[in-house]
Structure formats: C-alpha cells, structure tokens
C-alpha cells in the first residue's frame, strides 16, 4: 500500500508519500513566511491554494511513481486554522475522487508522534510536542495518547514568533531567537511559569515586551528566553516520564529543531538513564509524510471508518488509538 498525505493545518502545505512498510518515497513542502509580522490565516490559505497542485505533482515526481500506484489519500483534519485545513481537505478529496481511492482524515498531533516513532524506532515514548500552535506532553496509556501537560495559552512557537515580532523580525521567529541567543551568555531573570504539568507563556511575553522597552539587549533576552521556557518544557516532560515510568523521550514540532532544547532534553534523559530521540528537522516541522504514515496506520485496521470533515479544535485525547504502531 502507498499513501499520499496532505498537511495544511497552519503555515505549511506539505505532501508526503510513504509505503505500508514505512519506506519514505517523498516529502515536499512549501511554507508561508513573512518579512515582518505573524501568520495571517487568510494569506496562509492563499499561499496553500497557490502551491497545492504543484506540491502534489512534485511529490509524485520525487516518489518516482505514477498516480495510479497510490492506494490511499490522507489529510490533516486538525487541530489547525480552518481556512488552511479546508484547502488540504479539498485537494485530498478531489484527488481521492479522481483516483477512486479511500480518503482518511488524521489528527495532526498524533501524526507527529507516530512519524517520530517510525523514524527513531522509539517504542513507547513520552512526546514533547513543541510547535507553533501546540505545546503538549503526550504519552500512550490505555488506548489513548493522553495529554500529561500542555500550554494554558499560546503554543511555544507562537510565543517565540511573537517575541521575535516585537524585536522587529518576521515569521518564523524561533530560528531568529535561536541565532541571537548564541551571541550571549548573560542570563536575565524572567518569570518561570509552570502549574502542575502545564506551562504558560503570556506573562513571560508581557515581561519581555517591558524589558525590550527598557532597553535590555535583544541577545541577552533571547538567551534568557530559551533558558527559561525550554527549562519549563523539560521539567514538565521529566515529570511525565517519572509518572508514566517511560524511559524514552521523543521530540516533535518545529521548535524541537532548536539545538539548545535538544541538548537540554538530552541532559535530562541521561541523568535519568533514559534516551532522547530527535527526528531530522524536515520531519519535526509540519510535513505531509507524517500525515501519509498516519493514514497508513489507520487504514490498516479496517474495522473503523474515519470521518472526513475538518476538526479545527480536535484534541489529541479525543482519538481512540485503534491501530497497532
Ligand atoms: P511547526 O508548527 O511544528 O511547523 O513549527 C513551527 C514553529 O517552529 C514556528 O513557531 C517557528 O518559529 C519554530 N521554529 C522553527 N525552527 C526553530 C528553532 N531552531 N528554534 C526555535 N523555534 C523554531
Ligand atoms: Mg505541527
């Protein structure tokens, strides 16, 4: 079985193609970026509409297959921005209709976790999912991927993007903060907000805005931001690992591309004789391949049919894990 998967929850329109055995045939994407300011949902939608057909065709070419070789189409149902989700769904539906193939809708967050497991061979990890709109600490327990901790307000990526915007940079801001942070070792105290296993970034953002007005250096702030917010994520992840007695940590989401976050996760895991796994960057940020792989997992257990609507607010723990992974 070969599945073509379409991702379009937010800034990225991506198409991946993968076989039932997990052989990667293609992963092509185009991301909406800005010189200044954040994501505008309707502009991201326009971007997706503009590139969709070409990205689908490029993926088929990269896979070196014919359309007729594809057996299944999948798409990201949510969570995500409705205008963006609709583009992915419509292109997936049209393709499935034209090629007379089954269509499977999948949950984006779970797809991050399952592709990470496939690529790293982690068996039963705690996932630290740190992306633009989502920040969750997820682990499998009794037929569901349970959320052990999460952000109470913004995703960590959106937080970094907003801070970068306040500093005068465009989207995505995370890599710009990361580059600035490398230029400093001066720690400026910032609020450290973790409530139980949940984190929150709004207060920290306001505090930074104030500090920027008061003339603190951008690179010192960038360094301090990373040290503070990544420590919050590592603390919550460690607690989830202790609670579930799991010995693997898997990173997912665009913010997981950050080398300092990876290093901190690695240190924490070594201290508790656990292992930290990080897939390659192209599979950490949003991508079509993870959607294709999740499509395969769900289609292989044919007892359940999946609805084909978009679900902008779907939660990780809404989904019953009925596939074997
Ligand atoms: P995703 O939504 O999973 O595709 O991730 C996108 C988010 O990842 C954006 O908010 C980016 O700013 C952030 N991001 C990408 N690369 C890095 C990096 N090296 N460090 C921190 N954040 C990053
Ligand atoms: Mg994502």
- Give the residue carrying structure tokens 């450290």: 192
End-to-end CA separation in angstroms for the chain: 16
88 lines ligand 1 (CB under 6 A): no
Q: Is the CB of 261 under 6 A from ligand 1?
A: no
Does any ligand 1 atom lie closer than 6 A to the CB of residue 285?
yes
User: Does the C-beta of 39 come closer than 6 Å to ligand 1?
Assistant: no
Q: Which pLDDT value is given to residue 300? A: 87
- List of domains in the chain: 2-112+283-318 (3.30.420.40), 124-281 (3.30.420.40)
CA 171 to ligand 1: nearest atom? 12
Q: Which of 168, 125, 4, 110 is nearest to 322 (CA)?
A: 110
Measured torsion, CA atoms of residues 29, 222, 80, 104, in degrees rounded to the nearest 10: 50
pLDDT for the residue 301: 77
173 lines ligand 1 (CB under 6 A): yes
> Does the beta carbon of 175 sit less than 6 angstroms from any atom of ligand 1?
yes
Residue by residue, pLDDT tens for the chain (325 residues) are 999 999 999 999 999 999 999 999 999 999 998 777 667 899 999 999 999 999 999 999 999 999 999 999 999 999 999 999 999 999 999 999 999 999 999 999 999 999 999 999 999 999 999 999 899 999 999 889 999 999 999 999 999 999 999 999 988 899 999 999 999 999 999 999 999 999 999 999 999 999 999 999 999 999 999 999 999 999 999 999 999 999 999 999 999 999 999 999 999 999 999 999 999 999 999 999 999 999 999 998 766 555 668 899 888 988 888 886 6
Cα 163 to ligand 1 centre (Å) = 13
Burial category of 280 from C-beta neighbours within 10 Å (exposed 0-12, middle 13-18, buried 19 and up): exposed
- CB burial string 26-42: b at 16+ within 10 A, e below: bbbbbbbebeeebbeee
Q: Of the ligands numbered here, which is closest to the C-alpha atom of 256?
A: 1
Mutate to test the pocket of ligand 1, among 254, 263, 290 (most ligand atoms within 8 A of CB): 254
- Cα of 228 from ligand 1 centre, angstroms: 17
Residue 181 structure tokens: 């942070």
Residue nearest to atom 19 of ligand 1 (CA): 258
**Structural contact between residues 5 and 89, judged by C-beta atoms closer than 8 angstroms:** no
pLDDT at 19: 98
Distance 29 CA to ligand 1 centre (A): 15
pLDDT for residue 309: 85
12 cis-preceded (ω within 30 degrees of 0):
no
In this structure, which ligand is nearest to the CA of 38?
1
pLDDT of res. 209: 97
CA distances from 280 to 63, 88, 101, 252, 315 (A): 19, 24, 30, 10, 25
Say how many CA atoms lie within 13 Å of 56 toward its Cβ. 26
Q: What was the pLDDT predicted at 307?
A: 61
Q: Residue 307 — φ and ψ, nearest 5°?
A: -65, 155
Ligand 1, from 259, 285, 288: best to mutate by most atoms within 8 Å of Cβ? Answer: 285
Ligand 1 atom with the smallest distance to the CA of 9 is 2
Task: For CA atoms 59, 63, 68, 74, give the dihedral sign.
Answer: negative
C-beta separation of 184 from 220 below 8 A: yes
How high is the pLDDT of residue 302? Answer: 61
Tokens of 286: 């949003």
Q: How far is the CA of 158 from the centre of ligand 1 (A)?
A: 8
Find, among 100, 143, 105, 149, the residue nearest to 249 by Cα. 149
For 305, other C-beta atoms within 10 Å of its C-beta total: 9
Contact 145/297 with Cβ under 8 angstroms? no
- Residue 224 vs residues 182, 218, 277: alpha-carbon distances, Å: 11, 10, 25
Identify the pLDDT of residue 59. Answer: 98
């Amino acid at each position: 079985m070969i599945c073509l998967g379409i991702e379009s929850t937010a800034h990225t329109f991506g198409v991946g193609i993968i076989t039932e055995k997990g052989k990667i045939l293609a992963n092509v994407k185009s991301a909406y970026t800005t010189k200044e300011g954040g994501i505008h949902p309707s502009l991201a939608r326009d971007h997706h509409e503009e590139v969709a057909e070409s990205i689908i065709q490029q993926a088929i070419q990269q896979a070196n297959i014919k359309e007729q070789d594809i057996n299944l189409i999948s798409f990201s149902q949510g969570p995500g921005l409705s205008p963006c989700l609709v583009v992915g769904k419509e292109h997936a539906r049209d393709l499935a209709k034209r090629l007379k193939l089954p269509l499977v809708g999948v949950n984006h967050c779970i797809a991050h976790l399952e592709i990470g497991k496939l690529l790293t061979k982690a068996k039963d990890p705690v996932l630290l999912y740190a992306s633009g709109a989502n920040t969750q600490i997820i682990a499998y327990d009794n037929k569901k991927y349970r959320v052990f901790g999460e952000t109470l307000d913004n995703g960590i990526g959106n937080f970094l993007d907003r801070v970068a915007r306040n500093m005068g940079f465009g989207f995505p801001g995370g890599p710009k903060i990361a580059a600035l942070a490398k230029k400093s070792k001066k720690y400026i105290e910032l609020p450290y907000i973790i409530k139980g296993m949940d984190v929150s970034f709004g207060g920290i953002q306001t505090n930074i805005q104030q500090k920027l007005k008061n003339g603190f250096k951008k690179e010192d702030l960038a360094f301090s931001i990373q040290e503070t917010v990544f420590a919050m994520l590592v603390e919550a992840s460690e607690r989830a690992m202790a609670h579930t007695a799991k010995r693997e940590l898997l990173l997912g989401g665009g913010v997981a591309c950050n080398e300092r976050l990876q290093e901190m996760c690695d240190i924490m895991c070594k201290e508790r004789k656990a292992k930290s796994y990080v897939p390659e960057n192209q599979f950490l940020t949003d991508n079509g391949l993870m959607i294709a792989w999740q499509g395969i997992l769900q289609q292989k257990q044919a007892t359940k049919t999946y609805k084909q609507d978009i679900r902008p607010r779907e939660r990780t723990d809404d989904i019953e894990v009925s596939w074997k992974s």
